[in-house]
Amino acid sequence: MSTTGDSEATTTTAATETSTTNRKQPFPQGFLDTISTGWAERPETLPPARSRAAFAARRRHALSAAFPGERLVFPAGELKQRSNDTDYRFRAHSAFAHLTGWGSDAEPGAILVMDPLPDGGHEAVLYFRERADRTTAEFYADASIGEFWIGPRPALAGVAADLGIRTDHIAAFAPADGERVVDVDADLTRAVSEMRLIKDEDEIAQMREAVAVTAAGFDDIVADLPRIARHPRGERIVEGVFHLRARSDGN
């Protein structure tokens, strides 16, 4: 972004140090003075709990019984850089998604922690980066997480209501001695993997839906075969038709 006029002092506000964006550049003071103003208020209505939340709670309860008195940690994983400021589409760790019900819409960098309670059982806490206030540099300067670039991230209260799990800012998370971390602790990793071998009603419903959507995608291709056959690059039409179904009905 270029500046015009000597009256506009230039202030360098780089993206966060961990960002991979190439949009680290000076911002004119006029931009900084106005970028955080004039935005509509965010809706404060909390969502109802998703149906999957109850199934995830049962899975956590079963895992709690298998590891009494131990702290269990399940990171969702981070974004993987594809090129420069472009990341691959995020996919949360399977154990994290299975135990939270937070799948394709999960926040990169989130961590599920199951803390042991004195009287037995565990309390689940979901840590993730709270959306930035619009007055902060993160709002506009970081193309990987800034609301100005990717839209608003979920709020702590909204996710807590959606998933039925207590939430806290990622800054409040701290590792603890003796904790078990998935993919680090062999016993925990084996336990959560074996849990997924037996599907519950929710997982069976998801599998059936995936099969139905896949079949519909092939039906779409068959219905468009005349156009595909006439087109000199028909294989691209096949790809596009199926991809439309996958992106509209899939995750």
Q: Where are the domains of the chain?
A: 52-131+152-195, 201-249
CA distances from 121 to 66, 74, 117, 136, 197 (A): 10, 17, 6, 39, 23
Residue pLDDT tens, the chain, 251 long: 333 343 333 333 443 444 444 555 667 777 777 887 888 877 778 999 999 999 999 999 999 999 999 999 999 999 888 887 788 888 999 999 999 999 888 999 999 999 999 999 999 999 998 877 777 777 777 777 777 777 778 889 999 999 999 999 999 999 999 999 999 999 999 999 999 999 999 999 999 999 999 999 999 999 999 999 999 999 999 999 999 999 999 86
The whole-number pLDDT of residue 251 equals: 67
| DSSP structure class, residue 102 | -
Which pair of tokens denotes residue 170?
């990622």
Q: What is the pLDDT of residue 8?
A: 35
- Residue (of 168, 181, 208, 202) closest to 96 by Cα position: 181
Tokens of 182: 């998935």
- Helices 201-223, 52-66: inter-axial angle, 10-degree rounding: 130
pLDDT of residue 26: 67
Distances (CA, A) of 86 to 142, 145, 189: 12, 12, 31
pTM score, whole prediction: 0.79
Q: Rounded to whole angstroms, how far apart are CA atoms 243 and 61?
A: 38
Please report which helix (H) or strand (E) contains residue 73, including its range.
Answer: strand 72-75
Per-residue DSSP letter, 90: P
pLDDT for 204 equals: 97
Q: What is the C-alpha separation between 248 and 239, in angstroms, rounded? A: 14
CATH topology of domain 52-131+152-195: Creatine Amidinohydrolase; Chain A, domain 1 (3.40.350)
The residue to which tokens 């955080």 are assigned: 36
Query: Measured at the alpha carbon of residue 217, what is the angle toward residues 212 and 220, in degrees to the nearest 5?
Result: 125
Coil vs helix vs strand at 216: helix
pLDDT at 144: 73
